[in-house]
Structures are given as C-alpha cells and as structure tokens.
Amino acid sequence: METAATLAVANKFNRKAVSLLNLSDHLLQGDTFYAYTAEREKLEAEIDKRIREIAFHLNSPAAN
C-alpha cells in the first residue's frame, strides 16, 4: 500500500520514485516476522544496511 501511494504521488507531480522491499518471512522453513533469533536479527540488520546503501546510491547524482 505504501509503495502504491508513493508511486501515485510521484506520478502526479511528475517525479521519479522507487520502492525497495524486504521480504522477511520464509514460510517453507517456518520463519516468520515474529520468529526472532540472534542470527536472524543479525541478517536483517545487514539487509537493512544494504537497502539503505542502494537507496543512497539511487539518490546520488551519479545514478541520475
């Protein structure tokens, strides 16, 4: 929903927009958003860091 709203507003104002999504569940292994372990928390922190790096790159003058 948030992505749809962001893209719709960007379109209305003729602006560029991108959405970076992170899927946390792995249902085949029984992992869900609510099943936290220290290993999973570490992995999610690394993923969040990399998503921020991608977002900063996409917003940089070199990417535009």
* pTM assigned to the model: 0.63
pLDDT at residue number 11: 96
pLDDT at residue number 59: 85
In order of 3, 7, 18, 39, the CA distances from 11 in angstroms are 12, 6, 11, 40
- Please state, as a whole number, how many other Cβ atoms lie within 10 Å of the Cβ of residue 61: 5
Tell me the pLDDT tens digit for each residue of 9-48. 999 999 988 888 877 777 777 777 677 788 888 988 898 9
Task: Report which secondary-structure segment, H or E, holds 46.
Answer: helix 38-59
Can you give the C-alpha Rg of the chain in angstroms? 15
pLDDT at residue number 20: 87
pLDDT at residue number 41: 85
Of residues 9, 8, 22, the one with CA closest to residue 52:
22
